[in-house]
Structure 1
Amino acid sequence: MKDWAGTGRAYADSYASLCVGTASAVSASLGDAGGRTLLDVGSGTGMLAAALVDVGWDVTGCEPEPSMRAVSQHDQPMLPVRDGALPRLPFADGSFDAVVANFVLNHVADPRASARELARVAADSIAATIWTTSPTWLWREVCSRAGLVPAPGERLLPQSDFERTAAGFERMLTDAGWRVRAVSDLTWTWHADATALWISAEGGVGGAGLFYRALDHEGRVSFRRAFDEVCEQRSVAGALPLVHSAAVAVGSRR
């Protein structure tokens, strides 16, 4: 799966603001917080966890990447963060009233084992999200203009993979032992700042960042020139409007 090593600050300054776009939907799916405990698995730089604290949850983060934890502790100093990764979390059964995994199950090698582990540590509710649509056209267009061949996307083994739709997500979670209450589609436009997007690429965040890091000097120069051209032509009012869609699932363990 993707290598997130050392990307904490670059992620915080770029895609973190995109991924927190699910905060309201996740919060609504879990109902009233009322000071209940919540574990945010794959909490990254803590932006979603902070949003859930703001609506009344007693949140603990869990994040395996040291640079992410370091940024979280700097930017969200009141948020406790544990070192831990799916599919084996360092918590007892039913340790938290609710457990959340925001854009995590689309990055793990064994989604079903990981979903079972989320259910294991939840006493009541579990919520998870995956991407169903993201504007990969942007980086494909950059590569095309630069005369570069995009790297193929990562794929799971067929027996581990699942269909990246709301229905496919629900089937996978049911296979993993969830009692699924609802799965909804969420679509929103991220008005991305070109500077933030370049931070993600140069900082090695996501597939585009890993691709850029692997280029030689000439390739990087061509990639940056093409990126600037695309941003100049595609921007609206100083930002790139990028439409994203996610599936948001909520349930409990059987």
Structure 2
Amino acid sequence: MTTFDESERLIWAGRGAAYAASFAKLCAYAVPPLLDAVEVGSSVRVLDVGTGPGTVAAAACARGATVTAVDAEPTMIELAVSAAPAAEVRLAALPELPFPDAQFDAAVANFVLNHVGRPQAALAELRRVVRPGGWIAVTIWAAPPAPGQALIGRAIQAAGAVRPPHLPAGLAAEDDFPRDESGLRELMASAGLREAACETLRWDHRASADEWWSGPAGGVAFGGQLVQSQTPPVRAEIKRHFDLFSAEFADEDGLLTLPHAALLARGRR
């Protein structure tokens, strides 16, 4: 486990409910195309890695698949068990999964590679547990971020927040890759996956300002931990700028329309 992985475990510890109430709805947009990419249907043996509150696992079960779901965070496991009672849900994490070679027909990881220290090794592990000819599909956030995705970061930067030492600065140079279609496609190929392909998903996420702020206010993900680590005056400045910038996305009804972009890639073992 890398230092980045250790930091991610600390960042997400105890955050299951806060994530489910905020950013989980955003990440759910990618679930149907993700499952389509690995051809999930009746009796297909699917591994859902980084299941979070079980959104992907539940959707795969609804398609009649035989689903195994894992996550590194116990509070996420509790939610996933409730959301996908037909799935086998276990505590586990990349890059070392507790499964034999070629156990699954397909594997998916929805916004998980963003949170691992060695993305290529993570993909190689997914390849290991999928049968020859089976599909693997992943999503990550695109860079540069779409305007809706950048909103919270803009507020943090405008307030002059300082990154605390316990938050990772990023991946080691040898493990990082360009967060664009060609970069993710090449990463898939470098992990031994055939027929690697990548596309960009774009959508507008609708949420109230209070709901969108509840993620960082609840310490969810890197941004939330960054917000919570600041002094009270700086936190108040972040919130003030968040309110100011949110007005750019507000409709007549007060809801925010937040443009997002993500990369969806798949490859075959």
Q: Distance in 2 between matches of 1:33 and 1:16?
A: 23
Task: Give, in angstroms, the shift of residue 74 of structure 1.
Answer: 3.3
Q: Give deviations 1:67-119, integer Å, cap 9, x for gaps.
A: 11122223433432111111100111111111101111122100111100000
- Give the counterpart letter for 1:98 in structure 2: A
Judging changes above 3 Å, is the alpha-carbon distance between structure 1 residues 160 and 181 closer, same or farther for their aligned structure 2 residues?
closer
Alignment of 1:32-51 (within 5 A): 33-51=41-59
Alignment of 1:40-79 (within 5 A): 40-79=48-87
Whether the aligned pair in 2 keeps the contact of 1:192 and 1:241 (CA below 8 Å) is yes
- Give the counterpart letter for 2:152 in structure 1: W
Higher deviation after alignment, 94-103 or 177-186: 177-186
1:118 correspondence with 2:133: no
3-state SS of 1:215 partner: coil
Q: Give deviations 1:155-183, integer Å, cap 9, x for gaps.
A: 21111111111111011111111113432
- Give the counterpart letter for 1:58 in structure 2: T
Match of 1:248 in 2: 264
Q: Distance in 2 between matches of 1:106 and 1:126?
A: 16
What CA RMSD, in Å, does the superposition of the two structures yield over aligned residues? 2.0
3-state SS of 1:190 partner: strand
Whether the aligned pair in 1 keeps the contact of 2:17 and 2:75 (CA below 8 Å) is yes
Task: Give, in angstroms, the shift of residue 149 of structure 1.
Answer: 3.3
Aligned partner (choices 205, 208, 215) of residue 193 of structure 1: 208
Match of 1:86 in 2: 94
- Give the counterpart letter for 2:21 in structure 1: D
Match of 2:160 in 1: 148
Aligned partner (choices 246, 252, 256) of residue 231 of structure 1: 246
Calculate percent identity across the aligned residue pairs. 36
Length-normalised TM-score, structure 2: 0.86
Higher deviation after alignment, 107-116 or 237-246: 237-246
How many residues in Structure 1 have an aligned counterpart in Structure 2? 252
Judging changes above 3 Å, is the alpha-carbon distance between structure 1 residues 148 and 14 closer, same or farther for their aligned structure 2 residues?
same
Q: Distance in 2 between matches of 1:60 and 1:182?
A: 25
Length-normalised TM-score, structure 1: 0.91
Q: Give deviations 1:210-252, integer Å, cap 9, x for gaps.
A: 1111012222233233333333453123222222112211222
